[in-house]
Amino acid sequence: MNISNKLEGKRLPVDLVLSNAKVYTRRGIVEAGLAIDNGRIFRIAKETNLPQASTKLDLRGCVVLPGLIDMHVHLRDQQFAYKEDFFTGTSAAAAGGVTLTVDMPNNKPVTMSSKSLRERMKLAEKRIIVNVAFYSAFPATLGEIPSIVEEGAVGFKLFLSQRIGGLDIEDNDVLLRAFNKAGEMNVPVAVHAEDKEILENIKNKMKQAERNDMNAYLEVHPPNAEMKAIQRIIQLVKESKVRVHFCHISSAAGLNAFLAVKKMGFSVTCEVTPHHLFLSHEHLKRCRTTALVHPPLRTKRDVKALWNALTRGLIDTIASDHAPHTIEEKEDKSIWDVKPGIPGLETMLPLLLTQVNEGTLALSDLVKMTSEKPAEIFSLKDRGSLDEGCLADLVVVDVHRKHKIDSSRFLSKAKYSPFDGWKVKGKPIKTFVNGQLVMDEGEIVAKPGTGQIVVWKNCSH
């Protein structure tokens, strides 16, 4: 029995009707309205077939999309609250049309045990505006993996560029055992694929030569460091039954290594970020350390390779890698001390909608890579699409609205961006989380704690 039948006997009206909309469905865009009740989509239908509602909003022909599920977000808080906290980070998400963020574990303290995860969840549930799920780093004792998943982690994050968490990342036997444990729990492992040995060897040479320039930084992070790390993980995937998700693939070399194993049918997925899709070495010269990220911006040839794969349907997801820092941390005089990362939650959707308007990106592909596929990776059966019975996580976009990106108006604490001043076309104007309006025309209209903690197997705390 579907939800419409279950609720048919309840006393009308429903909680909310969104009328005069263009609703994105798996069949394409339909001119219709949505009825929302008890946090879920009750009905999608023509106006005359919608039930009466306690509240009705006229969307004036705007497009309704599934809320974005951003698989790669650093919400900070705790001892990094000076960079970002759960309220400001999820406010930024709401402003960008993101209704579920998946938080990374490289926090202070590192999220790497059921205790540290529980503490982080407890702090978050009082502050979040949108829904939040959590990665954990691997613990030192692999026997703790089941308890971390039972506590609610939706996956594990493995950094190959530096040690974060309890594993010796240079020991393949240890990694294989960790992968097998994660595979037994059926949770994905997300990997930052840059080879630590390559990075450290070149970095030491640069420091000995007293290099402190952007080209030195780029030389420390060559494409073959990404390629080698991906190839190493692929060997472990072949020996285990784990599902691996490669984060922020940035180079043609890394992409080709990934696609080679994808074609063999192994359970691997990947993401690309907007900054690797839209920026290259040339922007580093102009934006300097503001645009410094790990892995770094690449050549125009690499950018072209990513777009080519994306338009051919070979890229699984797009994620922001929202990584906020203070402006002082971004402008350190030593290039080796500059903190890598940029805020991306508020720019991702406008940048992608601009490509839809220009005909470079199909709207169906945008939805697939930012909502449908992330929901599939995390087994979130009632999120990621606008179907009757699904949770009412959605974003209303004015696809024709032109505006300039202005980082000074970000809701994130990080008020800088390499996209500052970019002209974009398409803007999220309302965001609904679990059926509740949380963002209206760039303003947060919900209280902290409105979002829910999403845990493995789609349970909520």
Answer yes or no: is pLDDT of 102 > 70. yes
Nearest to 303 by CA among 244, 252, 231: 252
- By the 8 A CB rule, do 218 and 281 touch? yes
**Farthest CA pair distance, the chain:** 76
- DSSP readout, 302-326? HHHHHHHHHHTT---EE---B----
Phi, psi of 47 (to 5 degrees): -50, -45
Amino acid in position 433: V
Share of the chain above pLDDT 90, in %: 94
The predicted-structure confidence for 49-67, as pLDDT tens digits, reads as follows: 999 999 999 999 999 999 9
- By the 8 A CB rule, do 378 and 155 touch? yes
Mean pLDDT across the chain, nearest whole number? 95
Average pLDDT for residues 11-19, to the nearest whole number? 89
Phi, psi of 320 (to 5 degrees): -80, -30
Neighbours of 219 (CB within 10 A): 15
Nearest to 321 by CA among 347, 352, 354: 347
Answer yes or no: is pLDDT of 287 > 60. yes
Answer yes or no: is pLDDT of 73 > 90. yes
The predicted-structure confidence for 369-397, as pLDDT tens digits, reads as follows: 999 999 999 999 999 999 999 999 999 99
Residue for token pair 């025309």: 441
Q: Which helix (H) or strand (E) holds 145?
A: helix 145-151
Specify the higher pLDDT residue, 456 or 145: 145
Q: pLDDT at position 189, please?
A: 98
Tell me the pLDDT band of 282, cut-offs 50, 70 and 90.
very high
160 Cβ neighbours under 8 A, 6+ residues apart = 169, 191, 192, 193, 194, 195, 196, 229, 232, 233
Q: pLDDT at position 4, please?
A: 43
Q: pLDDT at position 6, please?
A: 44
Q: Please, what are the domains in the chain?
A: 3-64+391-446 (2.30.40.10), 67-377 (3.20.20.140)
Calpha distance 77→107 (Å, rounded): 8
Amino acid in position 19: S
Q: How many CA atoms lie within 13 A of 299 on its CB side?
A: 9
DSSP annotation of 213 reads S
Q: Which two tokens stand for residue 53?
A: 């509602």
Nearest to 157 by CA among 187, 130, 177: 187
Answer yes or no: is pLDDT of 331 > 70. yes
Calpha distance 370→353 (Å, rounded): 12
Q: pLDDT at position 241, please?
A: 87
Calpha distance 212→335 (Å, rounded): 6
Q: pLDDT at position 422, please?
A: 98
Phi, psi of 20 (to 5 degrees): 55, 55
Which pTM was predicted?
A: 0.95
Q: pLDDT at position 26, please?
A: 87
Answer yes or no: is pLDDT of 151 > 50. yes
Average pLDDT for residues 334-348, to the nearest whole number? 97
Answer yes or no: is pLDDT of 5 > 70. no
Q: pLDDT at position 3, please?
A: 41
Q: pLDDT at position 457, please?
A: 76
